[in-house]
Chain A
Amino acid sequence: MIRILKSLIDIFFPPKCVICSKLNENFLCDDCIRNISVTGNYVCQFCGKPTIRSVNKCLECKDEKLYFTKARSFGIYEGVLKDVIAEYKYKNVRALTKLLTQLLYITLQKYYRDISFDSIEYIPMTKRSKSFRGFNQSELLAKELGKITELSVNGFLIKTKNTKKQMSLSLSERRKNLIGVFDFVGSKENCRGDILLIDDVYTTGYTVSECSKVLLNNGANDIYVLTLARSLLIQ
């Protein structure tokens, strides 16, 4: 039944690559995926920033107090990947969820294969901005990843205050902007062990760090961050 409905929708909204408009069932064709700059062999062992050689901590995260244990991303936030995420978040092409989750899963296999996670969490949005966008992209990705990995997706985090856009602030303001905006709702018994935290883009790491802090305070052991893209705007 669902397949019939899907093929009916395919007639009126043909599945095409969001970047180059070639027909493709996953809404992103293989050629365009190949154009994404994937994080390579050498990354910062802590924050996942692509580096020239393997380092334990890079220039960016050296002096920062970040609460998560590790962070990794699929690719660099530029070119095709940036456009795809924009289509996904702002143009509402939720049909991309499956493919983007696949990309997350590849990254999970690449960097976190040895870790057995207890549950998955995602970065929350305030109620207002979620209803404005209609969905929370991190939530969709986390839930889809949960299906693939057969891990439970809890959603214990909520965002209580609307914050200013991170992009518009200076580095020091960004940190302050986020203090105390995340809260924990849910049972502390289920919040334990190693937790995989999902977000779409990692920029300064403050957002994921702040969420990690809340989770750690409520019983989690280690937080591993997994994002689609890693922003390199700050050198």
Chain B
Amino acid sequence: MDKKKLQVWIYYITPSYILGIVIGENIKISLSSIIIFLSILSIIIIFCSFYDGRFIKYLIIALFLIIGIFIINLTQTEMSQSILLKLSEEKSYVKVEGNICSRPHFFKNSVSFFLQVKYIDFNGKRYKLNDRTQITLFHNNENPNNDLLDNYKKLNSKDDLKDSIFLGNSIAISGRLNKIEREISKGFSWEKYLYHNKIQTKLVADVSKIEDISIHILSRIRKYVVYKAEKLFKERIDSKHSTFLIGAVLGDRSEISPETIEHFTKSGLLHLLAISGQNMVLIASIIIFFYRIFKLSFFKRIFITIIMIVSYTYLVGYEASVLRASITTLLTMLALILGRKKDPFALLSTSALFLTFWDPFSIYDVGFQLSFLSVAGIFLISPIIMKLFNNKKNLLTNTFSITFSVQLAIAPITLYHFKQFSIVSILSNFLALPVSSLILSLGMICVWLSLIFEKMIHPLLWVLDKATGYLFLISEFCSKIPYGQLYYSKFSIYLVVVYFFFMIISLYFLIKTNVEQKVKTKFVLSLIALLILLVFTYQFLLSLPPKNLSITFFNIGNGDACLVRTPEGHDILIDGGPEGKNIVKKLHLKGVKKLNLVILSHPHSDHIGGLIEVLNEIPVNLVLVGSLDLSECDHSLIDKYNSFLEIIRNKNINIKCIKSKDILNISSKLSLFSIWPDPDKISFLKSNLNNQSLVFLLRYANKRILFTGDVEIEAQKEILNDFKNLSINADILKVPHQGSKDANFYPFLKAVLPKISIISVGLHNKHNHPSDEIIKSLKKINCPIFRTDKMGDINLIAINNNWKISKER
């Protein structure tokens, strides 16, 4: 055979195919033209393979580029013709039947998952189809209707619900289909994520509308295995550690506490919570260890490995990173059977090809991207790092070069998706890698053994508990290291491309050219130095105060959170939104390192929830609250407020209570003028905590911003009475109570007469905020409205006498 013809074809096939998918999603090409093009191209290829081998490389690239475009166009056409989509346009009431195809997420009073729909009942007819939809079930068990009581008895607690809602179970649900609007925007959005999971519709139903069909025997077995292991972990291991193990070994992350997730995110160890390629590698090595002992025959051990890999993949659900790892392992087995040497890159490309062939959208999956990049990093970069150590192989250099190269490879993708990158991850992974392998392999052994001998693994569980404890210690320690995080809100896809472009060029220089090793070492060291310099310069620039007064209303769902930053370096936060909405991360992304002033309008959970997180994470000088009468509030609210006060006490933060007409001078330019509440008047408004909200005017030079908390009509009337002679006129108004109709009082709006009004509200909230009435009133006074649910974070910058408004997603 001609020597020129020898090529690693897969190196051309996979990239061109993936490129085809990316191009095809954005460019529509008609099917017939693709087919004509394909057939012409294949005829040329056949001819060329006979005459000249030189062009065949380019033809293969073109061929797979077009196949990629073709496949993605086919998928999109299929999706646009979906029956569910058509029915959702009319908001039809349907009954769908199928398998749960994602791990369900349990919330306080709802559960959400994806359903692979097999049958649909509509208008008395039954149709067979193959489509997906998102299901949200509400189980509000506070006051169930009487006729539904039986169902509630069965399904009233989370654990009972878990009996029928689990990955792989077959269920039927009736409800109204709704279309998920897909917005064409850059960057990550939930709607885009759903679309890439082939989900275009959603069905919201009450939990009583679910029927458990559960004929699937395999999914029952899976549930039994998971249940048994979970029980054992929970009984024998510290509860915090056991939830981690269930996530890391069995892939069920639903019960891991937000605190643990935060520590693992910050320390860059989050990948340990997900099932990753590491698990598969460990399974393979566990099996190898066992057949060394039992001397199993070649074919038996290959057979057992395949069975174990496939069943484990099934057990933990088919996430992209799991599939990547198991396909790679299966291909390794195939290489053994065929007697071929495996080539790591060809393996990686082949599994990418299989995965994208199966589901072209998987290239958008974060797990897919991280999984491939980290393996590529290990193969490409770590040999270069090893050369810096003069190839001295030991546990220390090995671990370091692996963690360093993985982080280098995944950094841009992490920054792009999460806008955050943990610099300490190099340290934390270095410390955690040996323990994590031990934990994962022990954990997996325990899961299998728990099915046979339960008692015997108790000592193993003890070791597991201690090792997990050590891992938690590492993650907690590393997450507390100052300046360990890199926050960058504007890391665009172009920066990702630029980063990889430079990385590929440097790699080409280092691997393919014959320059002296000394020069190469210098080159690598200077690259690393440059990177470190870049990171620190960026961190420094971010901590500088803005040039002009800057106000940001955060999109934190239903609730308020607003950051005010002055050029003098004063940072003020007004309310923190509800719990678990990442307000701390949003502040970090803004470069906030400390807060001079934190203001709580009133202690409802959608205002105080995030503030508790902020107080725990960011240094605060002063907290401002209004005088409150909590005598008619429920206990959970009072408890929350007390815990808020306790943190302030424990951290020795100054706290001040202000009443109406107080003035607080923050700096020579910045002052706060309090308008409400009047402590003499709140007693007769105590039944509604909203009316006790702190209302104040923030004044910076000649700029006036009115913050209103959640004050409703009654309090607004009182304010107008009080301020007959004093102006409450403002440039910017934060519209009270997310624009609820209870807060719509035209005279108040007219008295404020804002140039800009901001409604801080969550998308699709169940209260139907903001109300049409308040929008009408605002239009009446000719005031433009900006909503966080439509725009995301709203940023206002005062330039001379104007406000520059921009949105950030």
Contacts and interface: CB of A to CB of B under 8 A. Distances in A.
Contact of A16 (B297, B338, B343): B343
A95 B341 contact: yes
Interface residues of A, number: 27
A97 B341 CA distance: 13
Nearest to A97: B339
Interface of B: 1, 6-10, 13, 295-299, 331, 334-336, 338-343, 346, 350
A23 interface: yes
A13 B13 contact: no
Contacts of B8: 14, 16, 23
A11 B297 contact: no
Given A13-B343, A92-B339, A94-B339, A23 B7 contact: yes
Contacts of A9: 338, 340
B339 A93 contact: yes
Interface stretch (A73-81, A111-119, A127-135): A127-135
Contact of B339 (A10, A12, A95): A95
A168 to B, nearest CB: 17
Given A128-B295, A132-B297, A23 B6 contact: yes
Contacts of A95: 338-341
Contact of B338 (A13, A87, A133): A13
Contacts of A128: 295
A60 interface: no
Contacts of A14: 7-10, 343, 346
A12 B346 contact: yes
Contacts of B7: 14, 23
29 contacts: A10-B9, A11-B10, A12-B331, A13-B335, A13-B342, A14-B7, A14-B8, A14-B10, A14-B343, A16-B8, A16-B341, A18-B341, A21-B343, A23-B6, A27-B341, A92-B298, A92-B336, A93-B340, A93-B341, A95-B338, A95-B340, A131-B299, A132-B295, A132-B296, A132-B297, A132-B298, A133-B298, A134-B297, A134-B299
B298 A131 contact: yes
A124 B341 CA distance: 25
A182 to B, nearest CB: 21
Nearest to A128: B295
A209 to B, nearest CB: 28
A87 B338 CA distance: 14
Contacts of A132: 295-298
Given A11-B10, A23-B8, A131 B297 contact: yes
A11 B9 contact: yes
A15 interface: yes
Interface in A131-149: 131-135
Nearest to A11: B9
Contacts of B334: 12-13
A97 B1 CA distance: 19
Nearest to A9: B338
Counting from the closest, the 9 A-B pairs by CB-CB distance are A94-B339, A134-B298, A131-B297, A13-B340, A14-B8, A93-B341, A11-B9, A12-B350, A23-B6
Interface in A79-95: 87, 91-95
Q: Residue among A14, A97, A133 with the most chain B CB within 10 A?
A: A14
A11 B13 contact: yes
A132 B293 CA distance: 12
A69 B78 CA distance: 75
A10 B13 CA distance: 13
A16 B340 CA distance: 10
Nearest to A24: B6
Contact of A15 (B6, B10, B298, B336): B6
A14 B299 CA distance: 23
B577 to A, nearest CB: 51
B121 to A, nearest CB: 45
Given A12-B331, A92-B336, A131-B297, 5 more contacts: A13-B340, A14-B7, A23-B8, A93-B339, A134-B299
Interface in A4-42: 9-16, 18, 21, 23-25, 27
A12 B298 contact: no
B12 to A, nearest CB: 10
Contacts of A21: 343
A108 B674 CA distance: 103
A25 to B, nearest CB: 6
A18 B340 CA distance: 10
Nearest to B1: A25
A163 B291 CA distance: 19
Contacts of B341: 13, 16, 18, 27, 87, 91, 93, 95
A15 B13 CA distance: 16
Contacts of A10: 9
A16 B1 CA distance: 15
B379 to A, nearest CB: 11
Contacts of B297: 131-132, 134
A14 B11 CA distance: 10
B384 to A, nearest CB: 16
A76 B149 CA distance: 85
A91 B340 CA distance: 9
Nearest to B344: A21
Contacts of B1: 25
Contacts of B346: 12-14
Contacts of B340: 9, 13, 15, 93, 95
Contacts of B13: 11
Contacts of A13: 334-335, 338, 340-343, 346
B295 A12 contact: no
Nearest to A13: B340
Q: Residue among B295, B336, B340 with the most chain A CB within 10 A?
A: B340
Contacts of B335: 13
Contacts of B350: 12
Q: Residue among A9, A11, A24, A133 with the most chain B CB within 10 A?
A: A11
A128 B9 CA distance: 39
B417 to A, nearest CB: 30
A192 to B, nearest CB: 34
A6 to B, nearest CB: 10
A91 B336 CA distance: 8
Contacts of A15: 6, 340
Contacts of A18: 341
A94 B350 CA distance: 21
A22 B297 CA distance: 32
Contacts of B9: 10-11, 14
B382 to A, nearest CB: 16
A135 B297 CA distance: 10
A177 B8 CA distance: 47
A24 B9 CA distance: 14
Contacts of B6: 15, 23-25
Contacts of A97: 339
Contacts of A93: 339-341
Contacts of B331: 12
B327 to A, nearest CB: 11
A27 B342 CA distance: 12
A10 B335 CA distance: 11
A164 to B, nearest CB: 15
A132 B291 CA distance: 9
Nearest to B345: A14
A24 B10 CA distance: 16
Contacts of B295: 128, 132
Nearest to A27: B341
A25 B340 CA distance: 12
A12 B334 CA distance: 10
Contacts of B336: 92, 134
A95 B335 CA distance: 10
A21 B341 CA distance: 10
